[in-house]
A and B are shown apart, each in its own frame.
Chain A
Amino acid sequence: MTSNNIQLDNNGRLKHFLTTEGLNKNLLLNILDHAESFAGVGDRAVKKVPLLRGKTIVNLFFEPSTRTRTTFELAAKRLSADVLNINIAQSATSKGESLQDTLRTLEAMHCDMFVVRHGSSGAAHFMAKHVSPRIRIINAGDGNHAHPTQAMLDMFTIRHHKKDFSRLKVAIVGDIMHSRVARSEIHALTTLGVNEVRVIAPLTLLPARVETLGVHVFHELEAGLEDVDVVIMLRLQRERMRSALLPSEQEYFHNYGLTEKRLQVAKDDAIVMHPGPINRGVEIDTHVADGERSVILQQVSHGIAVRMAVMAMSMGSLVDKQEEKT
């Protein structure tokens, strides 16, 4: 598909990382393998590798974010790149500058990579299409479309605990409709060949024809959690109550909030994930969030390794791990 080919160079290697959709299993595994080799870097006395020395990476955030921006910044610095943070939410576009003009301006500063977060679906594709060929684009979240590095760090966390994807049942719970994380996770999970992906939500939080993404749909939490190996909880935004999608936080927690009791129907060794930031008492009970099955904080530290891998791969600084094996 043309929409995805844009992510690869002529040799089929990662050029831009815009979505997990349309990338093959080998490439996704490659990202995880490289991330594995970076995972130890943070524990060393000198937390840097010189792979991107002399390169300039711009964090271009059109939407506020702390966690994602910080881990991208850390990842870039551990690769020895220079990092520029631009917060456009309060900058140029509010003065009426178009995205294309912003892009041209930054290009003129001779940067090598843009890490982009934008409120409109397809913004990262748009930039990849219009940017000069030497610049790489990493999608740090576009509208409701994709958040591929978040999905890959979740895959990394899942593999860390479960080793083999093929036998897993994974449930994603909550606001699938407005979640770029969920979409990217679904594509990654189905590509990596998990046994079953389930989405659990009321109809108001499910996008039309969601089953065409290759998932099984549940409206009841207990039924959906039965026998699963991985539970991914999604953040519930307060706007959903205002726009008549849900009656109240209390009612949501009562029906879809993850509690220890509800988790009992899952496998004994099931892990609980959440892309953060969490709403305690809305989508997840405090005891579960801090409980022994929760891997939420591990997700954050894995985020740095995965982002290092993606950045280094798209800059062409790494040899292909899967190719090495074959």
Chain B
Amino acid sequence: MRILIKNGRIIDPANQLDKIGDICIADGRIVSILKGGDDFTAEEVIVADGKIVCPGLVDLSARLREPGQEFKATIASESMAAVSSGITSICCPPDTQPAIDTAAVAELIQQRAEATSKLRIFPLGALTHGLKGEHLAEMHALKRAGCVGVSNACMDIANTDVLRHAMEYAHSCDLTVHIQAEDHFLSRNGVAHEGVISTRLGLPPIPETAETIAVARALLLVEQIGGRTHFCRVSSARSIALISDAKKAGLPVTADVGICHLHLTDMDVDGYNTNCHLRPPLRDQRDREALCQGILSGSIDAICSDHQPHDEDAKASPFSETEAGASTIELLLPLTLDLVSKKKLSLTEALSSLTNKPAAILGIDAGTLSPGRAADIVIIDMEKHFSVDQSCLISAGKNTPFNGWELNGVVTNVFFSGQAVYQNND
């Protein structure tokens, strides 16, 4: 299939490109960018006047619930939701059931993704066996099976000696360690940021130090070991300061933030809004501002959906008895573009944190538009508005905190390896 995308505003942050021009695609790969469109014989021509053309998005963390929790969502259902938001590469954490601690599970997930032919899934392998924080997982085998990093997901490794050895072993496997920093002794049974709101609502609190102490512990180990380490879902201003200092000192660390934490604060939990029950918890206004600043300053490298689709029952209980997480995958792009409209990020910065930067963290060949690469491309109409309607979400999880929000930026076309996998001409 030979496709010509004509006259779009091509933004490719990896190559510092922001120009109007054409993209030619043949045999699933990009043939040329900007020029060459006039001499290209295409079977399909897409006129992208006034639209943005950018690389397919890379989501650093989305739970697809398969295997193990297919009653919440499946790889098939969530792939549909992901491509509607322009996502063509997804990294999934290892806390499936069973956990991704064997090659078989890692392979199963990639095969299911292949069967959808809509996007690629890059699994993270378990750092410890069964995510129990006791014994090392077979990281070499996981790497051979396609895992692009290792992580203990939301499970803390309480024993620092185990964490140290796990980080050392991952380093010798040349695998990035993804750490969601949380000291489980400090967070205990907490469900909300320790502050004004948790005090008023009487909700079990999670102090900021549950995160910062875990970040500091990991950073000291990185200093000693030297392996690539990525901090997932950073939520507090203090954590960003710690990571920023580590970066300045030359440590091989990166960090991401979940999209909800850039828009919401613990105030949104008021009224016991269970769709705002997240982990890490939504923190205060000052933290949210610091997270946005962190992207600008480069302390935070990427924005991810942290997609966690749930069945209705998971959220239909008193707040502290509900499961944490929000369904966000199909709003990742419009919510990030919203930060551009609010002048918190430039368009290039926003797209970079969704494309080349997360791709670099995963070490995968995606997130840019260079000739010769797989043609994963998104076309976005920035003029179109829509209002979020919970019941109309494509994802099997309807648990969005953004119901009723007015957003702009609608994906009109998505190509995955040169194949049209999504089209919206309404």
Q: Footprint of B on A, CB under 8 Å? A: 1-3, 21, 98-100, 118, 120-123, 125-126, 130, 142-146, 180, 183, 207-210, 212-213
Contacts and interface: CB of A to CB of B under 8 A. Distances in A.
Nearest to B272: A122
B250 interface: no
Interface string B312-331: 01001111110000000000
B199 A207 contact: yes
A180 B202 CA distance: 7
B173 interface: no
Nearest to A182: B202
Decide if the interface of chain B is mainly helix, strand, loop or mixed: loop
Interface stretch (B18-26, B159-167, B190-198, B391-399): B190-198
B203 A122 contact: yes
Interface centre among B198, B202, B204, B320 (most CB of A within 10 A): B202
Nearest to B193: A208
B198 A120 contact: no
B320 A213 contact: no
Given A1-B270, A3-B271, A120-B321, A209 B195 contact: yes
22 contacts: A1-B271, A2-B270, A2-B271, A3-B271, A3-B272, A118-B318, A120-B320, A121-B202, A122-B272, A122-B319, A125-B272, A126-B317, A126-B318, A126-B319, A142-B202, A143-B202, A144-B203, A145-B202, A208-B194, A209-B199, A212-B199, A213-B199
B207 interface: yes
Contacts of A1: 270-271
A99 B321 CA distance: 10
A20 to B, nearest CB: 12
Interface of B: 194-196, 198-205, 207, 270-272, 313, 316-321
A2 B201 CA distance: 13
A3 B271 CA distance: 4
Contacts of B207: 208
A116 B267 CA distance: 26
Nearest to B319: A122
Nearest to B199: A207
Contacts of B270: 1-3
B318 A122 contact: yes
B125 to A, nearest CB: 34
Contacts of A208: 194-196, 198-199, 205, 207
Nearest to B284: A209
A121 B203 contact: yes
Contacts of A122: 201-203, 272, 318-320
Contact of A125 (B198, B200, B271): B271
Contact of B202 (A3, A146, A209, A212): A146
Contacts, number: 82
Contacts of A2: 270-271
Nearest to A127: B318
Contacts of B205: 207-208
Of the candidates B201, B204, B319, the one having the most CB atoms from chain A within 10 angstroms of its own CB is: B201
Nearest to B271: A3
A164 B196 CA distance: 30
A213 B318 contact: no
A113 B271 CA distance: 22
A210 B199 CA distance: 7
Contacts of A98: 313, 316-317
Nearest to B203: A121
Nearest to B316: A100
Contacts of B321: 99, 120
A183 B199 CA distance: 9
A208 B313 CA distance: 31
Contacts of A3: 270-272
Given A122-B318, A125-B272, A142-B202, 8 more contacts: A21-B200, A98-B316, A99-B321, A120-B321, A126-B318, A208-B199, A208-B207, A212-B196
Contacts of A207: 198-199, 205
